[in-house]
Structure 1
Amino acid sequence: MTSMVQHTSDRMWTSRAVQLIEADGRRSADTHLLKVDLPEWAASGGIDLYLKDESTHPTGSLKHRLARSLFLYGLCNGWISENTTVIEASSGSTAVSEAYFAKLIGLPFIAVMVSGTSPAKTRLIEAQGGICHFVDTPSEIYTVAQRLEAELGGHFIDQFTMAERATDWRGNNNIAESVFAQMEAERHPIPEWIVVGAGTGGTSATFGRYLRYRQHPTRLCVVDVENSVFLPAYESGDGTLTSSTASRIEGIGRPRVEPSFVSQVIDGMIPVPDAASVAAMRFLSDRLGRRVGGSTGTNFWGVCTLIADMAKMGRSGSVVSLLCDSGDRYDHTYFNDEWIAEQQLDLGPPTATLTEFFDTGEWREPR
């Protein structure tokens, strides 16, 4: 009989872990697609706006989808086993969701993040049993995560590399498939534009690939914030660009071009100043009657610029973007006037731009 070297002891545990994650997914309903009330000049011009409300996931943000995919990817590749410490380099929301899944399958979790990350997010990570390991500069999170992986014999789940490959962009209930299914009965079921931010790059990659795979004419716009290198890299084609300063808008914007950022599937990018992101976040919160987060404000600013262009050209159609998370996580920052003053952000000009736009349809860039 041929002798065989076997490594099958973890198969039963892995099967159970996958079963637990799949069962959790079945218990969770799909997120809502909210139709936003636009002014009469837009509605009568045949322009509609929708926000995919990702704040209703069990862990409260868009990153819940990513974390689920990353854990399944790691389990099915044999990288995560019964005794693995899972490690992530994360500014917050992804780590909150990953801590949830680590707890679900009984594994320890460490989040490596920059000092100054929202205390509300760190509390959420710790509430799930996760440990927060802080570093001083954004560029350290990767090397520290890799060091902890080596020291602990753990698995660095690495959202910034794995995001674009862990999600099945062809289907399997990804966010793009969900949006198009929910749009089927609307008056403009195939959107003119989809607008998202870039953190890992995974969401934009999923949408961009899905649009091509399904042969939709919808265009994909990615909005980018201050101190992020995604837009400069997109403009120049230089993927080696870096920044020494972290983004103030949590969850999007990166100091390096992440491996999951697939620029070739993006049809256009819009720069959004931080003051505009925060002003748009507050403006949209008032209109919806509920608080949204900073990255949603960034999305909304980009949405308004595109709707302004559509109206100017006399084009009708729908625009879809994401409500990434609740604004309740940002009481001490974006909704705190003292923090705004400390950051020297002047919200007056961008707020005036949004107010005039909704009143008249005219878009004037802040000065």
Structure 2
Amino acid sequence: MIFSKVTDLIGNTPVMQLPLMQVDSRLYIKVEKNNPGGSMKDRMARNMIIAALRSGRIQSGGTIIESSSGNTGIGLALAAIEFGLRFIAVVDHHAAQDKIAIMRALGAEIRYVKGDYGENEVAVVERQRMAAEIASEIPGAIFMNQSDNVANAGGYAELVREFVNQIGRIDAWVGCVGTGGSMTGISHGLKVHNPDTVTVAVEPEGSIVFGKPGKPYYQSGTGTPEGDTVGLVLDYSCIDYGEQVSDTCAFETARYLARRFGLLVGGSTGGAIYKALEFINKGTIRGNVALVVADGGEKYLHTIFNETWLQERNLISPEIWQQLDGWFAPAAGVEVQ
């Protein structure tokens, strides 16, 4: 097929199956980093803009503002081009520099929050306050507010349809939870197809989504930091298990996947895959287990794929690699034709 605009490339992403030692389970990952903006957030970002245009909240030529750690911002920048909108992204120091560079390359205006934050502290509260303030000062502008925007969750309906068509019955879904949009939208959609689908939501250690004590963390674009409130878009009723994963487990899993399978994934995806493997090997979930590559590791080459950066923060653990070796089936020899 030949497409006329880059947003036509959103969706229809491929699925990989990773080999497991547990023969009663199959691990399928949908490679959402193949979307044009490099993440699953392309889907919901465009959906939020379409919803705002249809409702009359924004007009062509207007301005949209969003607080983002990067991926939603990239998706909004792409959709802003399509619909002739101005886009202002409010970011903090926690956002990967490569993501900010991509947003800027796509024409987004970047505004940084001010304040004294540690490098592993996420300034979501200040980002949202600043985004709302900017929107109030610009005539015809709106703050997209992904955390409370129902069009966030609604943006993943097509992903569910694609996944079910690709692999059939989905017995378990494991996903990251931040704003809660993807977890809510995908979980509800999957349970329509199969009410027995078990859903596992994964947040970083230090996130407060499931009521545990908050502390700083390095995982980007996931979780809710201490001091922030959980987004209204998150529906806890569709989640069967709420789990936490450490930065070390998340990042080491991402690095393992790169070395073992040649697959570059972001840290939050590494955390979700680690928890999926843990649950499979405990027997908590089995059958067809589904995840997404929420975004690619190409955006984190200077951090989680940089051994010096990891060593300086005590985020390296050979024991996790040994654990992963025991969970994945050994590599089979390949016969050259």
Shorter-normalised TM range: 0.7 to 0.9
Tell me the amino acid that sits aligned with residue 176 of structure 2.
G
Identical pairs, percent: 27
Question: Match of 2:218, SS?
Answer: coil
Deviation, structure 1 residue 75: 0.7
8 A contact 2:153–2:233 mirrored in 1: no
Deviation, structure 1 residue 47: 1.6
1:150 alignment partner in structure 2? 136
The one of 57, 68, 73 aligned to 2:46: 68
CA distance in 1, matches of 2:171, 2:53: 37
1:196 alignment partner in structure 2? 175
CA distance in 2, matches of 1:125, 1:25: 15
Q: State how many pairs are aligned.
A: 316
The one of 245, 251, 255 aligned to 1:278: 251
After TM superposition, the structure 1 stretch with the greater mean CA deviation from structure 2, 347-356 or 277-286, is 347-356
Deviation, structure 1 residue 138: 3.0
CA distance in 2, matches of 1:168, 1:272: 26
CA distance in 1, matches of 2:75, 2:17: 26
Rg larger in 1 or in 2?
1
8 A contact 1:85–1:155 mirrored in 2: yes
How has the CA–CA distance of structure 1 residues 108 and 222 changed in structure 2, closer, same or farther, with 3 Å as cutoff? same
Structure 2, unpaired ranges of 5+:
116-122, 331-337
Question: Match of 1:300, SS?
Answer: helix
TM-score using structure 1 length: 0.80
CA distance in 2, matches of 1:108, 1:222: 34
Alignment of 1:269-308 (within 5 A): 269-308=242-281
Tell me the amino acid that sits aligned with residue 250 of structure 1.
S
2:334 alignment partner in structure 1? none
2:101 alignment partner in structure 1? 123
In the alignment, structure 1 residue 268 sits paired with structure 2 residue 241:
yes
CA distance in 2, matches of 1:158, 1:62: 17
Structure 1, unpaired ranges of 5+:
1-20, 185-189, 234-240, 361-367
8 A contact 1:207–1:220 mirrored in 2: no
8 A contact 1:281–1:297 mirrored in 2: yes
8 A contact 1:277–1:295 mirrored in 2: yes
1:10 alignment partner in structure 2? none
8 A contact 2:148–2:233 mirrored in 1: yes
CA distance in 1, matches of 2:74, 2:281: 36
CA distance in 1, matches of 2:215, 2:279: 30
1:209 alignment partner in structure 2? 188
* CA RMSD in angstroms, aligned pairs only: 2.4
TM-score using structure 2 length: 0.87
Deviation, structure 1 residue 319: 0.6
Alignment of 1:205-244 (within 5 A): 205-232=184-211, 243=214
